[in-house]
Amino acid sequence: MRLSIKHMKPLIRIKRIKGKEYWYEDTPYYDPETKQIRHKSRYLGKNIDGKPVKVRTEPAGASIASVPTNAYSHGPFLPLLAIIKDLHLDEYLSSLTSEIETNVILALSMNRVVRPMAMHLISSWYEDTSLFLTHPDLPLSSQRISELLSEIGESGVPDAFMTSLLRGIGTDSTLIYDITSLSSYSRLIPLLEHGYNRDGLDLPQINFSLIFDTEHAIPVMYDIYPGSIVDVVTLKNTVHRLGAHGIHNYTMVLDRGFFSQGNLEELLQEEISFVIPAPLTLKQVKEVLTEAQRDLESPQYLQIYQQDPIFVKPVTLTIQGSVVFGFCYYDLKREQTERNLFYIRLHDLKAKLESSRIPGWRRPEEVFKERAGKMANYFSWQVVDNRFQVEIRKNAVSQRVNRMGKQIILAHSSLDWQECLTVYRERDAVEKAFRTLKQDIQVMPLNAKNESSMKGFLFVTFISLILRMRLLKWMKETGLMEDYTLEGMLLELAKIKKIKLANGEIMVTEISRRQRAILERLGLCA
């Protein structure tokens, strides 16, 4: 006699999978083709206090108290909060501001890393994060944020914070100093002035300088200057500020934009160790390079750097009676790369200059200078039939090509040739930090109502930059950089949510294998 389907009642049972328990509904049914009884299984939820609970839908058999009411983004904040604790950023802030202000500053800083947005959207974003569960009453209206930023900008909080950070991490090694332009449409900020804009924008700007600690891979100090101030005049102030923060034993790594007799005299007078490339266009440097090139390719100067051949010859430069030592480097691989890029650009620019007409209402010399830009010195030209007829100046090109692959780096320090070249090339870290500010943290163009709120906003972005650069270092050290970009890793972690149940209980959603692998490498728990 065959069993009727109506007699086959579903059974509720618990399965144990990888050490965790789950509820399933098991319904027997008769299969007429095989003439056998089969089972249909339906997932009910995770076993929470003896009851099945689903994360995204209401589970059959679950009590109303265990039904989810809200989901909050949680995963991306796990590494950021760990960095804040590790570097004691919360402690430094809480010693300078109230508890509420500290949490607002940190929330704004984490937003610039996870998902930068306009200030009037911050409140809605925050309410969907797990940060809200810990501090649900933060004043994050656009007006209150603006007021707080202005208060910070008018206070000594940024300087005091940097003092605590510098002393806390024990900065006493290699510091990289550089400066960039930050543009704005605002007409209400006196610091905004027209000057050399590194992004080619025709906007007033401020100059934003940054000190980067290579050992800890984070920025540790910043400063703000009027937009018309040139790079070379900012260094003296930076040296004095570091001294005021109690930092004295360090090596300052600078770009050639800071090379001037005054700067070198200042560094020598303050007995500061420094590494700086000498511009090959200066007469005194040209003479040193010409002398060095006589036997630069001698076998006695041959070295291997990062598995490639390089010639290194010690040189000296006299600055106001003080002898500064350094090295002349001739990098064969770099020379070939520079040659290829230069000749391609030279060829393409010549073709472009000859192919376009000259507007009849403009002076030809103005048009040529505008179109040729910095390459103008490599061409001679005349106008034929309202077009440029261009010739390449062989001597100018020969002089430029002769310097390719060569650089002179002055090293007033105990560094040898290899250490000197390595720390100089680590300047890429600051350039990456500036790109991060402008592209990822989206500091540009500056959108502030007044100078004090602009200064407060730059303080927030400075903390954001600390978090992002430290996270990149963490990813590199743990091998995560081989599998993810920073954005890709944060997107994967964003799938981890915190769930609030109707009874007020908080639970974390299931962790996937990929998410667990990320957290394990970082040594974190959800």
- pLDDT digit string, tens, across residues 135-194: 999 999 999 999 999 999 999 999 999 999 998 988 767 888 888 877 766 665 666 556
Rounded to whole angstroms, the Cα distance separating 26 from 11 reads 5
Q: What is the DSSP letter of 215?
A: T
Cis before 219? omega within 30: no
pLDDT of residue 444: 56
Computed over every residue of the chain, the mean pLDDT equals 84
pLDDT over 60 (residue 68): no
Would you state the torsion angle of the CA atoms of residues 485, 464, 439, 488, taken in this order, to the nearest 10 degrees?
20
Task: Give the confidence band of 67 by pLDDT, cuts at 50, 70, 90.
Answer: low
The pLDDT > 70 percentage for the chain reads 85
Q: What are phi and psi of 79, to 5 degrees?
A: -70, -35
Mean pLDDT of 468-491: 93
pLDDT over 80 (residue 104): yes
pLDDT of residue 45: 75
Mean pLDDT of 106-125: 92
Q: Which two tokens stand for residue 209?
A: 């300088």
Task: Give the confidence band of 323 by pLDDT, cuts at 50, 70, 90.
Answer: confident
List of E strands, 265-405: 273-278, 302-305, 308-319, 322-331, 379-384, 387-392
Mean pLDDT of 357-367: 91
Q: To 5 degrees, how large is the angle CA 227–CA 265–CA 191? A: 10
Q: What is the pLDDT of residues 259-294, one digit of tens each?
A: 888 888 888 888 888 899 998 888 888 899 999 999
276: β partners: 410
Q: Return the residue matching tokens 């930090």.
A: 433
Q: Is 193 helix (H, G, I), strand (E, B) or coil?
A: strand
Cα 510 to chain centroid distance, Å, stands at 31
Rounded to whole angstroms, the Cα distance separating 150 from 448 reads 10
Q: What is the pLDDT of residues 295-305, one digit of tens each?
A: 999 999 999 99
Least confident of 201-215, 349-363, 432-446: 432-446
Task: Give the confidence band of 433 by pLDDT, cuts at 50, 70, 90.
Answer: confident
Pairing of strands 68-73, 497-501: antiparallel
Q: Is 391 left (phi over 0), alpha (psi -120 to 50) or beta?
A: beta
Cα 409 to chain centroid distance, Å, stands at 26
pLDDT of residue 57: 43
